[in-house]
Amino acid sequence: MKEIRMKTYDLSVAKKRLSDLIRKLVARFSDVDVVAAKVHDQLRKDDDWSAALLDPMVRDGIHAAIYQGRHAQRNLIKAGSVLITDVIEKYGEDPPAKGFVGEFKGDVKIVAKVHEALNVGFLSSWYIQNKPLGDCTKAELEREAAEEKAMGDGHYVNVRLYKRIAARLKAASDTVSSVWKDDEARSVLAEVIREGSDAA
């Protein structure tokens, strides 16, 4: 795999150079398309500069793809774990060939085999950051738990904010700005933040 070289510019230098170039071009040309074309020309001539500017976006895309894959994997593990736990609770360690657990109806012995496979692979297939759960330390788990809680708290705040703002809208087609003023909505946001995640 070819290594990307970015020795010439760090991101702040690359951004400043881009900003300076755009400012100079805008002073000469008033057409956005002309300025954009000239910027692209300059970027094509300097691989290190363009790589330095693109690297954060590339890394964000990679992180997003990894997160989405891990999120899907965790959802499968969660669903499978609940189903398998239900099978074990209902039938014990030796389930019948046919049975019914929750919404699942079918070969319960197969579910038991999946349970064994998940028990073996759970600690190595559930990732936290770039590390399998089984390799994480107490400090890493506590830090990750705090980060997950903070993200969850933020989601709860958003949910309550949206519900409270929507409650004042009458028709489904009403827009927020037609009913709310900035300062009113901002005070609702401050209110739901002060309430914390326990009010969700």
Q: Could you state, in order of their start, the residue ranges of all structural domains in the chain?
A: 11-58, 137-200
* Contact partners, residue 19, CB within 8 Å, separation at least 6: none
Q: Which residue, among 193, 188, 143, has the nearest Cα to 169 in the 3D structure?
A: 188
Collapsed DSSP state (helix, strand, coil) of residue 186: helix
How far apart are the C-alpha atoms of 50 and 146, rounded to whole Å? 37
The set of long-range contacts for 79-82, using a CB threshold of 8 Å and a minimum separation of 24, is 80/114, 80/118, 81/118, 81/122
- Residues 95, 109 contacting (CB under 8 angstroms): yes
Residue 1 predicted with pLDDT over 60: no
Average pLDDT of the residues in 146-159: 85
Average pLDDT of the residues in 29-35: 86
**Per-residue pLDDT tens digits for 69-94:** 777 777 777 766 666 666 667 766 66
**Per-residue pLDDT tens digits for 111-137:** 666 655 555 567 777 888 888 888 989
Tokens 């976006």 sit at which residue?
57
Range name among 2-16, 34-48, 140-154 with the lowest pLDDT average: 2-16
Task: Please report the pLDDT score of residue 6 as a whole number.
Answer: 43
Residue 7 predicted with pLDDT over 70: no
Band (102; pLDDT cuts 50, 70, 90):
low
Tokens of 77: 């593990």
The reported pTM is 0.48
How far apart are the C-alpha atoms of 137 and 153, rounded to whole Å? 24
According to DSSP, residue 133 is labeled G
Count CA within 13 A, CB hemisphere, residue 161.
20
